[in-house]
Structure formats: C-alpha cells, structure tokens
Amino acid sequence: MNDHADKAQATVFFDLLVAEADELAYFIEAMKRAGPSGPAGRTTELRRLRTELHEVLRCISQIRRRFPGVSAAGSLSERELADRP
C-alpha cells in the first residue's frame, strides 16, 4: 500500500519537474536568441538558469531510477529528457 502511494507521489512530482524543465529550457533558448552575450547580468542569469535546469534533470533521473514506471505527461519525451545535458 505504501509503495503505491510513493509511486503516485513520484508521478505527480515527476510531472511537475518535467514542466519546470520545459519552462527553463524555453527561457534559456529565449535568452540565447536575444543576441550575443551582453551585460554581465544576462550572462549570470543564463548560467543560473542552466544550473537550475541541470538540478531539475538530476531530480528527474533520480525519480526514474527509483520508480522506473514513472513517465512524463508533459511535452518532453523520454528521449528528449535523456538527451538533455
């Protein structure tokens, strides 16, 4: 019974993480399209977003290892998640 509750909770959290990864990837791409590196503030923000994306993807990987049946309901496919840095 407890295992079922853990998996259900992992599924919800996984979907939230995938949505967060989608959003972060969108912002990173938007900043990169905005032109060549400009002010140091923008470079710092881009670095922060990439670090945050890396952490979200690390959490996604951990959930996948612990609960192999959990899959994304979001826009990222299994392959896209695996291909991310």
Range of the domain at 15: 2-83
Q: What local confidence, expressed as pLDDT, does residue 80 receive?
A: 53
Q: What local confidence, expressed as pLDDT, does residue 23 receive?
A: 95
Q: SS in 3 state form for 42-55?
A: HHHHHHHHHHHHHH
Q: What local confidence, expressed as pLDDT, does residue 75 receive?
A: 46
Residue recorded with tokens 């969108």: 26
What's the DSSP call for residue 34?
T
Q: Which two tokens stand for residue 8?
A: 């259900």
Cα separation, 85 vs 72, in Å, equals 18
Measured between its terminal Cα atoms, the distance across the chain in Å is: 36
pTM over 0.85: no
